[in-house]
Amino acid sequence: MKKLISGITIASVAFLSACGQGDEESSATNSNNNEGTVDSSGDSDNSEVNIGYFPNLDHAAAIVGKEKGFFADEMGDNIDFQNFPNGNEFMESLDTGVIDMGYVGPGPAINSFLAGSDVVVIGAAANGATLIVSREDSGLLTLEDFPGKSFATPGNGCTHNVQLEKMLQEKGMKTNRRNGEVEHQSRVNPASMVAMFEQGQIDAAAAPEPWGTLLVEEHNANVVTEWDEVFLGEELASVVLVTTNEFIEENPDQVEQALKAHKRSVEFAQNNEAETLESVNDLIYDLTQTRLPEHVLEKAWQRMVITTETHADALQQWADASYEQEFMNEDPNLDGFVDTSILDQLMEE
């Protein structure tokens, strides 16, 4: 039965970007309320707001906000949603004005900010959602077992990659990228993780949800480190809501309306698990014509926290860890990267 499910879900996993920081050159998919289009030159109608997101479980706030009409309720019908395969394309679209705001992993947003782009975090959508797993017969059961083993991540220096390498460093280990004893294979999409586990090509993975749980439940993977025990596991945002300072200055009312919709979306997801998971699975089906097993989604849901709390200090700690692991060339300063003042005020109402 598990082999059958693997075959069914492989197309879903192949399509979806788990880390939000890959380097693949595939285009964003238009997925909107009104079947509108976006001018790729970045010159969009001033009245239209373009929102980016990923069709992943921890992007549940974006998905239910779109599917349940919360954004349309607050902002009107002239909004457009685009789903993205990776964080690089998302940030490029934000930087060029193709999208105005959206949901993305913290790693791509931080890297873009440090490179000088106009990007600001105005809220969060989820925390956690990283699971360290190993192949059933790999002999790797704890972090101490990593020397001489290999692991995969969806991106090089992505959120999950930095989290695992930080933990390995604390155990006195380095990866082959830094002439260490642990082999790291980066830019491995979730579909390849499943296949590589089955073929014995990798020993472990730092996997975002629901793909870590999929490996455990359907492929007998071992849980090496639970989501709440990884570096910054419970505090680090896995999804942040970002826009640009320019867009805030020119469209303050639309930003406030979007944040009202975001607040409603998060609260719905927090209080309506079954409907939220159904919305996520329906979106995956619409995009891939396949569904993830319901019990996988249900268990993966327990490995994250849907929340508006950003924890700016955790973002800084992650950036510091990325610098320590030599993914960054300069000591990161995130002053000005987070401004949740509008959302904070809405949460008090």
Same domain, 190 and 329: no
Calculate the average pLDDT of the chain: 87
Domain containing 157 equals: 130-225
Is this structure's pTM higher than 0.85? Answer: no
Share of the chain above pLDDT 70, in %: 86
In this prediction, residues 23-33 reach a mean pLDDT of 39
Assess if residue 64 is contained within a domain.
yes
In this prediction, residues 205-219 reach a mean pLDDT of 92
Residue 54 · residue 117 · CB < 8 Å: no
Quick one: pLDDT band at residue 132, thresholds 50, 70, 90?
Answer: very high
Give pLDDT tens digits for 253-285: 999 999 999 999 999 999 999 999 999 999 888
Same domain, 202 and 257: no
Assess if residue 276 is contained within a domain.
yes
* Residue with the larger pLDDT of the pair 156 and 104: 104
Strands 120-128 and 183-185: unpaired
Examine the pLDDT at 12 and tell me if it is beyond 60.
no
Q: Which of 225, 256, 271 is the last residue of a domain?
A: 225
In this prediction, residues 177-204 reach a mean pLDDT of 89
- How many separate domains does the chain show? 2
Same domain, 176 and 221: yes
Residue 71 · residue 51 · CB < 8 Å: yes
Q: What pLDDT is recorded for position 219?
A: 94
Assess if residue 230 is contained within a domain.
no
Examine the pLDDT at 10 and tell me if it is beyond 60.
no
Examine the pLDDT at 172 and tell me if it is beyond 60.
yes
Give pLDDT tens digits for 30-82: 444 443 333 333 443 457 999 999 888 999 999 999 999 999 999 999 999 99
Same domain, 86 and 214: no
* Residue with the larger pLDDT of the pair 194 and 245: 245
Same domain, 59 and 91: yes
Same domain, 321 and 207: no
Same domain, 255 and 123: yes
Same domain, 243 and 325: yes
Q: What pLDDT is recorded for position 191?
A: 63
Q: Which of 177, 205, 225 is the last residue of a domain?
A: 225
What CATH code is carried by the domain that includes residue 218? 3.40.190.10
Q: How buried is 237 (Cβ within 10 angstroms: 0-12 exposed, 13-18 middle, 19+ buried)?
A: buried
For residues 333, 338, 341, 346, the Cα torsion angle rounded to the nearest 10 degrees is -160
Same domain, 122 and 153: no
Same domain, 21 and 121: yes
Assess if residue 318 is contained within a domain.
yes
Same domain, 103 and 138: no
Q: Which of 225, 252, 267 is the last residue of a domain?
A: 225
Same domain, 12 and 123: yes
Q: What pLDDT is recorded for position 290?
A: 78
In this prediction, residues 184-201 reach a mean pLDDT of 85
Burial readout 192-220 (b: 16 or more C-beta within 10 A, e: otherwise): bbbbbbeeeebbbbbbbbbbbbbbbbbbe
Q: What pLDDT is recorded for position 190?
A: 67
Out of 55-64, 78-87, 96-105, 182-191, pick the least confident.
182-191
Assess if residue 231 is contained within a domain.
no
Assess if residue 161 is contained within a domain.
yes
